[in-house]
Amino acid sequence: MYLLDKFLSKSIKRGQLIVTNHDGKEYSYGPGGDYPPEVGGKPGPVRIRLTNKKAANHIVRYPQLGAGEAFMWDWLQVEEPHDIRDMILFVTMNAKQLGDASLKPKGSVRKAFQRAVAKLDGINLRGSARKNAEHTYNLTRELYERFLDEDRQYTMAYYREDPASTSLEKAQMDKKAHLAAKLYVKPGMKVLDIGCGWGGFALYLNKMYGVEVLGVALAPDQIAFCKERAKAAGVDDKVKFALMDYRDVEGEFDRISSIGLLEHVGTIHYPQFYEHTNRLLKPGGVMISHCCGRSGPPGFTDAWTRKYIFPGGYIPALSELVTQSERHGWQVMDVEAMRFHYCHTLEEWYNRTVMHKREIVDMYDETFYRMWLFYLAGAEQSFRNGTMVNWQLQYVKDRAVIPMTREYIHEESARLRSMGEVPDWRFDPALKEAAE
């Protein structure tokens, strides 16, 4: 407990954290008093209990990996009225107040080792890319139904209004409208949706504009579900899905979208990504990319996330994306840093997961459930108290293909949003005529 005690004594400077060790001895950290509103407004100190004699040492050896595993294995318990989300936000809020890197690996040797391991893990050849995708996205459909919105958007929602009074479903619809507006789609076009998820954006583009869409992804159940959705909607002749690596796609497209994909590409493969997509896009085309990102310099993925949630995953800095795209013929026309939207999305995902605890435990087990909670809460803190954002980048080959000012984005987004949640291009005579 000595090292953990030393770490927490330095880190907790606001609020109060009380730790009961496996032997019953109690340790208190922080001045108490003014309780941080960041932790859900729940009163009193955050209390945790370590149930295994190995827990304290396991946590302090590498906080990001050890704390997650201790919680998964039930070595670390958070006492009511708080939960693991409260604890994570409390500790990271204190780290942010200190303005230090207390949650990051110490020492140049350790940092270099972690960076090297992360780089190796980011090599996503075709075989490993499919394996990594299946690890994350081929979990049971029923799991994702329990915490995502109705359209199964597994990326940041866009909160145009107060998050406290905006439903996840509305925020995800607004995200799709925002992205479609930036894509500058016209009826009759052919669109490639790389990393299509459960097909929501591809179907949305078809419904709004009557475009043909090819969606590709590497998780078999996702693609099977996408095909079922397209068939049920009666548009499987226009919206097609393929179990395919984007590197194997051929042909030419008017528009390309990649939403939540670049986090899985791996930095070593960025040149290949930009070179291949450049080859696929027509000269007058537009590509939009939406991904998690770092608001600072390049870094590396923490060990716990790489091991349990996103093997091969990496969240890029803007410099990494722009540098590589420039080298392969792209011009960046629009960059937007989406701040805090994802922390509100993740908070809602966390709440819906808690709401469906019994069902998720029945699907898997208690260990998986605790792992998922730790993942969602940990991700939320990185967007709330850390330096993570979402990047939306618009790429073209010819800068003349989009209007000169950004008003077209806001106007088209507003038009799409005004059409409600179930618009259909087939019932808009102007769009139908253009598509035909």
DSSP 31-74: EESS--TTSTT--S-EEEEE-STTHHHHHHHSHHHHHHHHHHTT
The span from the CA of 270 to the CA of 237, in Å, is 32
What pLDDT score was predicted for residue 43? 78
Res 336 pLDDT > 70: yes
When the pLDDT of each residue in the chain is averaged and rounded to a whole number, the result is: 88
Structure tokens at 335: 């960059």
Asked whether the CA dihedral 31, 4, 380, 348 is positive or negative, the reply is negative
- Strand 212-217 relative to strand 190-194: parallel, antiparallel, unpaired? parallel
Cβ atoms of 280 and 256 closer than 8 Å: yes
Cβ atoms of 284 and 401 closer than 8 Å: yes
Share of the chain above pLDDT 70, in %: 84
CA separation (Å) from 168 to 56, 146, 266, 385? Answer: 37, 13, 29, 21
| Spatial CB neighbours of 299, under 8 Å, sequence gap ≥ 6 | 315, 317
The span from the CA of 313 to the CA of 122, in Å, is 6
Architecture category of domain 126-435 in CATH? 3-Layer(aba) Sandwich (3.40)
Cβ atoms of 11 and 67 closer than 8 Å: no
What pLDDT score was predicted for residue 358? 97
Q: How many CB atoms lie within 10 A of CB 347?
A: 20
Residue 61 pLDDT level (bands cut at 50, 70, 90): confident
Q: How many CB atoms lie within 10 A of CB 27?
A: 16
State pLDDT tens for residues 387-435: 999 999 999 999 999 999 999 999 999 999 998 754 444 444 554 555 4
State pLDDT tens for residues 12-41: 998 999 999 999 999 999 998 655 555 556
pLDDT, mean of residues 185-214: 97
Give the DSSP letter of residue 350. H
Query: Which class for 336: exposed (0-12), middle (13-18), buried (19 or more C-beta within 10 A)?
Result: middle
Share of the chain above pLDDT 90, in %: 73
Res 176 pLDDT > 50: yes
The span from the CA of 56 to the CA of 45, in Å, is 19
Q: How many CB atoms lie within 10 A of CB 108?
A: 8
The span from the CA of 378 to the CA of 388, in Å, is 12
What pLDDT score was predicted for residue 427? 44
Q: Residue 197: left (phi > 0), alpha (psi -120 to 50), or beta?
A: left
Q: At what angle do helices 84-98 and 2-11 cross, to 10 degrees?
A: 60
What pLDDT score was predicted for residue 118? 46
What pLDDT score was predicted for residue 39? 56
Query: Which class for 51: exposed (0-12), middle (13-18), buried (19 or more C-beta within 10 A)?
Result: middle
State pLDDT tens for residues 238-287: 999 999 999 999 999 999 999 999 999 988 999 999 999 999 999 999 99
The span from the CA of 297 to the CA of 181, in Å, is 29
Asked whether the CA dihedral 318, 201, 272, 121 is positive or negative, the reply is positive
Of 130-134, 160-164, 316-320, the one with minimum mean pLDDT is 130-134
What pLDDT score was predicted for residue 95? 84
What pLDDT score was predicted for residue 44? 82
The span from the CA of 253 to the CA of 405, in Å, is 24
Question: For 397-414, b where at least 16 C-beta lie within 10 A, e where not — what string?
Answer: beeeebeeeeeebeebbe
Domain spanning 2-98 has what CATH number? 3.30.1050
The helix (H) or strand (E) run that includes residue 78 is strand 76-78
The span from the CA of 164 to the CA of 167, in Å, is 8
Of 65-79, 193-207, 305-319, the one with minimum mean pLDDT is 305-319
Q: Which of 291, 301, 273 is nearest to 336 (CA)?
A: 291
What pLDDT score was predicted for residue 369? 96
Domain boundaries, the chain: 2-98, 126-435
What pLDDT score was predicted for residue 312? 80
The span from the CA of 76 to the CA of 265, in Å, is 34
pLDDT, mean of residues 83-87: 95
State pLDDT tens for residues 89-142: 999 888 886 654 444 544 554 454 445 444 545 455 555 555 554 444 457 889
The span from the CA of 238 to the CA of 188, in Å, is 10
81 preceded by a cis bond (ω within 30 of 0):
yes
State pLDDT tens for residues 361-380: 999 999 999 999 999 999 99
